[in-house]
Amino acid sequence: MSSETQTTTKLPNYGGQAVIEGVMMRGKKFAAIAMRNPEGEITIHTEKLNKIYQSKIMKIPFLRGLIGLNDALILGMKALTISANTQTGEDEKIEGPALFFTFALSMGIAILIFFLIPAGVGQAVERYLSWKPWLGNLLEGLVRLIFLIAYMWGIGQMEDVKRVFSYHGAEHKVINAFEANAELVPEKVKDFSMEHPRCGTAFLLIVVLFSVLLFTALGPMSLLWRLASRILLLPVLAGVAYEYLQWTAKNLHRPFVRMLIRPNLALQHLTTNEPSLDILEVSIAAFNSMRELEEAQ
């Protein structure tokens, strides 16, 4: 996909997410999830998005990033649950309190590993090794980045996750093919890149890098306030990261912007695998279902 194609034609910023044996594609008003059931058939689930996505709030810089993060968490979790229930059937369906507990536990563990533990490491070297605060914050950011890369690499070694990452690669290929105005058939979509500048993996990397700048600007503080600030300022980081991601995606025709996003694209190789034609077929089905609903409106 060329940058010229992206910049000469105004296209909707469609996004998506890999799920278990499927792909969720999200438009401005609708989302569609295509999954292969245990019998090998493609099943489609569609739903209308909250009207807030078409409201004026989504035009307010930084605030729209928070809504985007909420979308990624809630809609993404719902899509994963639907795909999991499709594989397990009615007898083992995940719902109710069990689903809420799983979501809350996952969020808590993520905040602990990627924010609180690195903050504790930074605080420890400042206190016991007499490092300057900016060095402690730099080490904190480095630990956070190492944890993120190690986590992505680690789960990528699991066979079930490898298949999910193949669906992630298929999602990127389909969106890239659409943005290049190519015919959406597996044999043609397979030739497109698995990298995409608006990927959620890139979002996570931006959050980590911007956290170094933001937390360094706060200066020295007690351990309690340091840990609290890492949680309280997460919405700020999300808002800034979202705006940066959108800005780079709109300015890919500029050489220096393409240089800026190279780390983002490189990190995506940890969360995408080359999809087979049957996986591409599922991703295309999700995209076409979403597009049909969008165009009908």
Q: Give residue limits of the domains in the chain.
A: 3-296
Most confident listed range (50-59, 102-111, 221-230)? 221-230
> Which of the 8 DSSP states describes residue 112?
I
Helical (H) or strand (E) element with 46? strand 42-48
Q: Please provide the distance, in angstroms rounded to a whole number, between the alpha carbons at the two ends of the chain.
A: 28
pLDDT score at 283: 98
Please name the residue that has the structure tokens 């649950």: 81
Which residue, among 167, 199, 183, has the nearest Cα to 274 in the 3D structure? 167
- The answer to whether residue 156 scores a pLDDT higher than 60 is yes
pLDDT score at 131: 93
pLDDT, tens only, 74-96: 888 889 889 988 888 655 566 66
- Please tell me the pTM assigned to this model: 0.88
Structure tokens at 165: 């990452």
Q: Tell me how far apart the alpha carbons of residues 231 and 104 are, in angstroms, rounded to a whole number.
A: 15
Q: What is the CA 40 to chain-centroid distance, rounded?
A: 27
**What are the residues facing 32 on neighbouring strands?**
25, 46
Per DSSP bridges, beta strands 42-48 and 30-36 are antiparallel
Residue type at position 145: L
